[in-house]
Structures are given as C-alpha cells and as structure tokens.
Amino acid sequence: MPARVVTNSELDALIGESTSEWLIKNVGIRSRHWLDRSETTSDLVAEAARRALVSADIGAQDLDLLIVSTDTPDYLSPATSAVVQHKLGAIRAGCFDVNSACAGWVTALDQGARYLRTEVGAKYVLVAGGYAMSRFLDIRDKTTANLFADGAGAAVLGVGAQPGWLSSNFKTLGNHYDALGIFHGGAARPCTEDTVKSGGAPKVEFVKRFPANFNTEHWPELIRGALSKASLTFDDVGLYLFTQLNLRTIERVMETIGQPLSKTHWVMDKWGYTGSPCVVMALDDAITHGRGPQPGAVVVFCASGGGVSMAASVWRWT
C-alpha cells in the first residue's frame, strides 16, 4: 500500500457529507490508502513484486514471464508490465497486461499457471495486480469516493513436483458492461478538449445499478463449477479469498456455501477496496498474521469486477 492513509472521517470532510457510519455498517471499510502525487501504478506493482521475489528467494532475472493485472494502467499504451519489467530489471521475462477489471488478478493467475504447464523449460512466473483508482475519483461522488483505494500485490508461481493449480472457472455477463467503469479516455470516448469540457477528466462511475445480491447469487455457483472440475467440494477447501469490496457479501456467501467465517480473511476494513490485487493482498495479510494456508490445503480465489467479469481458481498449497 502507498504510505498515505485516508480515514473515513477525513474522507467525509472531503466529500462534504458523513458516510462513515453507513460504510462501516454495510461494507466494512474504515480506512484506505491513496497514492502520493509522485507515485503511479507501476511503482506499487514493482514494490509488491520485489517483496514476492524475496519471499520466493529468487531474483528478477530468474523470471520467465511477468503478468500485470490492472485497469488503472500507467498508460493506455504501452503495457504497464513493460514498465514494471524495467523497474525490476527482469530482463529475461516476457510481459503482458490483463484487464478483466477487478477479476483480473485471478484471471492472470490462471494464465500464469497454464503458461508453466505448457511452456517447455519455464520455471517462474510473477503474477501481479495494481490499482491506482484514487487517480480516477470524483471526490464529490459519494457512491465511489469512499470505496476505492490504491494498492498492489504479487505472487510467484513455480514449477513443482506436485500440482498447485487444480482448476479455474470463468463467467462474464457482458450485458452489464456499461454499468461500472472508467468510460472516458478510450477509443469510444477519447479525451479531447470538447469531451473534457463537457464530461470532465476520466473518472470511475456507477452508471447503472447492479442487483444488490449480484455476487451472493453468482459466487457460490462460480466456485462450485471450479471445484467440480477438480473433483472437490466446498468442505474440502481450507481458505476462501474473495474480492474485498464488501464484508457483508463475503459473510452471506460463506453462509450460503455452508462454510465457517474462519475459512476466509478480509482486509477491506483497513485498506479499502483495492480492486484487482485485493485478493492476493488478502492472501499475503492472512499469511502475515498466521492465518495462511497450511501445506496441502486447498485455496479458492474468487473475484468479480466491471464487465461483469468473474473468475474463480482452485489451488493446492504445496
């Protein structure tokens, strides 16, 4: 996370309206981190990647592939992964970006696993996610300004004697593509003098309402589909890690699938909603606090985001 902490009370002062009580009760967010003016997405991703490399006890030059999941890239082009490669000195690594909005890191994780399964001689893939949504906030919009935060997370995948990746499952409901996103700045609505005058700078916005139970409806079946491919059930899973947008949603999903809340972990209370990397950030925080998976445990990552894109991936912690 970037160093700057923004509490609910500080944000209320910026918005000009108190939202803290509602936010804590309905979502679970108490604070978040925002970028400094001198920082950008690739800075956060590079730092998370360095920490992951230290944990994996390898160097950046050992990486065969570097995947960055982000929908707040440094630039529309070139890929943020190329910037991260340069900052890390990962001179051997091929690079590409994944943009599946907030489902991106789980999607990228699947891609990294498949690469190692099929690429002869490949040993290590770094899968990172970065989020700098504070750059795209309309501070007057209380439906977005109090939710979104900045952060990054990274994991190193390696070839082992036993399979770690077991299965994945994806679902997209493209009819909701125009509900949530940053719709200004791309080819459909490029940033010209006229468009900026009429619509302002690019910003994240909820254009249409999602059904209130959207994730509680779709996540259980998404996970069930992934587990069935690995011949597993909900009870076989030791740790569930979800998109960290709403603690109440996570509570309801765990109840729906008949699992105790002790089998999951959350970080949105202290870090806000960090989009794509929030799932791996939650994994790292669980490990840091002694709640990480034990050897042999099954871990499920489940995420969803604008599009609507959804992804679930099942792993055995080797």
- 47-65 pLDDT, tens digit each: 999 999 999 999 999 999 9
Locate CATH 3.40.47.10 in the chain. 4-163, 166-173+209-316
Average of per-residue pLDDT across 223-240: 98
- What per-residue confidence (pLDDT) applies to 179? 86
Count the helices and strands in the chain (H runs, E runs): 10, 12
- What per-residue confidence (pLDDT) applies to 50? 98
Pick 4-163's CATH classification: 3.40.47.10, 3.40.50.2300, 3.90.1150.10, 3.40.50.300.
3.40.47.10
What is the pTM for the complete model shown? 0.93
203 compared with 127, residue with greater pLDDT: 127
Q: Flag whether pLDDT at 210 surpasses 80.
A: no
Q: Kindly provide the b/e burial profile for residues 215-231, where b requires at least 16 CB atoms within 10 angstroms of the residue's own CB.
A: bbebbbebbeebbeebe
Cβ(26)–Cβ(248) below 8 Å: yes
> Which of 61-75, 207-221, 296-310 has the lowest average pLDDT?
207-221
Pick 166-173+209-316's CATH classification: 3.30.300.130, 3.40.47.10, 3.40.50.10330, 3.40.50.300.
3.40.47.10
- What per-residue confidence (pLDDT) applies to 254? 97
Could you read off the pLDDT of 10-36 as tens digits, one per residue? Answer: 988 988 888 888 889 888 899 999 999
Contacts of 222 (CB under 8 A, 6+ apart): 169, 171, 302, 310, 311, 312
Cβ(300)–Cβ(95) below 8 Å: no
Question: If you compute the radius of gyration of the chain from its CA atoms, what whole number of angstroms results?
Answer: 19
Tell how strand 4-7 and strand 31-34 pair up. antiparallel
Average of per-residue pLDDT across 170-177: 91
> Which of 72-81, 191-200, 226-235, 271-280 has the lowest average pLDDT?
191-200
